[in-house]
Amino acid sequence: MQKFVEIFPDRTALIERGLSLVLAKLQAAIQSRGQFTLALAGGNTPKPLYEAMSTQSLPWENIQIFWGDERYVPPDHPDSNQRMARQIWLEKVDLPESNIHPMFTGAGNPQVDADRHEAELRQFFGVSDGEFPIFDLILLGIGDDGHTASLFPHTEALRVKDRLVTVGNKDGQPRLTFTVPLINHARCVVFLVEGEKKCSALKQIFAPEADEMNYPARLIQPQGELWWLLDRSAGSEIER
Ligand code: 6PG
């Protein structure tokens, strides 16, 4: 694993860097493999990045969009990560609907929908049981409790090693989430983190020793590149 940490003076600079990094990985992936497989983060931090992506002129037919996690709500619910990315970005570009791979949340049973998305990922990437798809880039954020995707502290989801998708749990609310091993098989993982609320969690995530069950983002050690893009208020405690 190669780890990179970059701290920026403000959100604008952070998002600009995030955009340049995504575009660089996108171009390299399409050049060498003909497609770019990208998993999106939810939450607020990535919204300006998705906005910026919507203004780019790109070979959309070669770009495949997934989500690293999803709230267990209908796709038109205000909390839906799929709805957020479609409204801010995907509906504004010529991305074929067949290139958009949301986590279905309509079975009324999160485990059933987790299994369904797992099967969809295995089919898309052509991987069988025991193998893990290799995403070109997985975008992640962190919560102020140190969670990432929907891998929340001290939850069962943190221990799942033999699945691609599992059921997360946020204060009793079910979520669907990529598992730690799926994320760690990625060619590139990019954390986008801003705001002083994330400062203390980041300190623990970067500390030489800390409980991974308490700070799940510590579990993210991808086989490829790990990028931490921080604004100064989030990264103020990180030794460089
Ligand atoms: C989600 C995200 C989640 C998010 C963090 C940070 O579904 O909410 O996947 O992991 O990245 O909670 O959220 P903010 O960017 O809103 O602080």
Closest CA to 89 of 48, 49, 54: 54
Read off the pLDDT of residues 151-193 as tens digits, 9 standing for 90 and up.
999 999 999 999 999 999 999 999 999 999 999 999 999 999 9
Atom of ligand 1 nearest to the CA of 68: 9
As a whole number of angstroms, the distance between CA 117 and CA 177 comes to 10
Closest CA to 46 of 30, 69, 29, 63: 69
Q: In the prediction, which pLDDT does 52 show?
A: 98
Q: In testing the pocket of ligand 1, which one of 14, 44, 45 has its CB within 8 Å of the most ligand atoms? A: 45
Tell how far the Cα of 141 is from the centroid of ligand 1, in angstroms. 5
Structure-token match 């694993």, residue found:
1
Architecture of domain 2-231: 3-Layer(aba) Sandwich (3.40)
Ligand 1 site residues, Cβ closer than 6 angstroms: 41-45, 69, 81, 141-143, 147-150
Question: Are 84 and 139 in contact, with CB atoms under 8 Å apart?
Answer: no
Q: Where are the domains of the chain?
A: 2-231
Tell how far the Cα of 143 is from the centroid of ligand 1, in angstroms. 6
Q: In the prediction, which pLDDT does 240 show?
A: 58
Structure tokens at 108: 């009324």
Question: Are 186 and 222 in contact, with CB atoms under 8 Å apart?
Answer: yes
Q: Is residue 137 helix, strand or coil?
A: strand
Q: Point out the residues of the chain with pLDDT beneath 70.
A: 239-240
